[in-house]
Amino acid sequence: MNHLNGKVSLITGAGRGIGKAIAVLFGQAGSRVMCTARSMGAAESVASTIRARGGIAAACPLDVTDRTAATSAVSRTVEEFGRLDILVNNAGNFIRGRVEEMAPEDWDKVIATDLNGVFYCARAAIKQMVGQAPLDGVRGHVIGMNSGAGIRGFPTGASYSAAKWGMIGLAESLRGEVIERGVKVTEVVIASTVRSGMSAGRDVPKIEPEDFAETVLAVASFAPTVAISQIVVGQMDPQ
């Protein structure tokens, strides 16, 4: 059964890569999609693709590091579609650097996007979700796009790993606060490399964004009585 049909989704970082693939696939699955990105042009381009394929979509600019913009994006979604059922916290930033060499400004940029931005968007979404009428017994679903870096650190990835570990702690705490009010919280951990701007130049096997988006769709489509706390997505060894 398709549990996305008619639901409203807000995707952060939807202008390209994984976010774009998720937004397009959700639109094909019958969700009404609010595409957000720092560039309004990029967000609108993805929304246009969804509409061209018969789906329903709108776009708005969103820099997730701006708490006011996060609140505005949720408000814009509700104004456009009447509610918000699914938030996909996908927007991310990754700057490599050894701890003793990394500029504090670069550390702040990663934390601002990958942790603070997740908090701002989740906070705004939850305020809407807990007060709205449930669909199929569920008031909302917050999905976090995480990484293998969220369960193990690696050299030159301290800022990214710290943010992703923080996302898991945030999700665990948030889940305990909202599950009894009808809101699901799931972390999707990518324990592999997805082809994207962040993985450009890395000579390793990669999952295509469209393939990974299928996993996110599955997580969002589980039966209303099923709550997935965390799912780890790996990769088959190439033969």
Give the span between the Cα atoms of 8 and 4, in whole angstroms: 8
Q: What mean pLDDT value characterizes the chain?
A: 91
82 phi-psi bin (left φ>0, alpha ψ -120 to 50, beta other): left
Give the span between the Cα atoms of 106 and 93, in whole angstroms: 10
DSSP label at 152? S
Flag the least confident range among 23-32, 96-105, 108-117, 189-198. Answer: 189-198
Residue pair 181/168 in contact (Cβ under 8 Å)? The answer is: no
Residue pair 176/220 in contact (Cβ under 8 Å)? The answer is: no
Helices (H) and strands (E) in the chain, counts: 7, 7
Give the span between the Cα atoms of 190 and 51, in whole angstroms: 29
Position 80, amino acid = E
| Chain segment 173-186, per-residue pLDDT in tens | 999 999 999 999 99
Give the span between the Cα atoms of 227 and 97, in whole angstroms: 37
Query: How does DSSP assign 186-200, residue by residue?
Result: EEEEE-S-BSSGGGT
Position 93, amino acid = N
User: Cα dist. 104→63, 92, 107, 158, 184 in Å?
Assistant: 20, 18, 5, 12, 35
Name the strand (E) or helix (H) holding 233.
strand 230-233
DSSP label at 236? P
pLDDT, average across residues 62-91: 98
Residue 109, pLDDT > 80, answer: yes
Q: Is 19 exposed, middle or buried (0-12, 13-18, 19+ CB in 10 A)?
A: buried
What is the band of 205 on the pLDDT scale with cuts at 50, 70, 90? Answer: low
Residue pair 64/39 in contact (Cβ under 8 Å)? The answer is: no
DSSP label at 113? I
Half-sphere exposure of residue 125: CA atoms within 13 angstroms, side-chain side: 30
pLDDT on residue 211: 84
| Chain segment 149-176, per-residue pLDDT in tens | 667 877 788 999 999 999 999 999 999 9
| Chain segment 1-52, per-residue pLDDT in tens | 567 999 999 999 999 999 999 999 999 999 999 999 999 999 999 999 999 9
pTM over 0.75: yes
Residues designated as active site: 160
Longest dimension (CA), the chain: 51
Half-sphere exposure of residue 160: CA atoms within 13 angstroms, side-chain side: 20
